[in-house]
């Protein structure tokens, strides 16, 4: 991914998840979000969520463990389109994981 493409994504979002070989490898946050996460000394961070959005089932339990804080931070400025895209990505990831598990089971049977 080119840096210009990453910058365009960051202008429309708070966080971008970069994946390598199907696994998350980096999360790119805008500076204000990063600064807030690093400099806030409280154990719990308050996150402003747009109350007009319907609850998204896929965001309640993220696909990847250990990125809960990143997802919570990225919710701060997510619009409806971003939430729909994220939900679709999470569903696609789940489908791919299930396909991999099926293929692994077939390989162990042979």
pLDDT in tens, 36-50: 777 775 555 555 544
Report pTM.
0.30
**pLDDT per residue over 57-97, tens digit each?**
444 443 444 455 556 555 555 555 677 778 888 888 888 99
pLDDT value at 99 more than 80: yes
**C-alpha span between 103 and 13 (Å, rounded):** 35
* 38, 44 contact by CB (below 8 A): no
DSSP strand E in 30-88: where?
A: none
């Amino acid at each position: 991914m080119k840096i210009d493409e990453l910058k365009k994504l960051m202008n429309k979002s708070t966080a971008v998840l970069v994946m390598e070989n199907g696994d998350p490898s980096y999360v790119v946050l805008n500076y204000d979000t990063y600064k807030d996460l690093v400099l806030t000394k409280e154990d719990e961070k308050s996150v402003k969520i747009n109350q007009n959005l319907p609850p998204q089932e896929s965001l309640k339990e993220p696909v990847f463990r250990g990125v809960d804080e990143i997802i919570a931070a990225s919710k701060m400025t997510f619009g409806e389109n971003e939430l729909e895209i994220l939900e679709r990505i999470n569903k696609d990831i789940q489908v791919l994981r299930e396909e991999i598990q099926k293929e692994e089971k077939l390989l162990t049977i042979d």
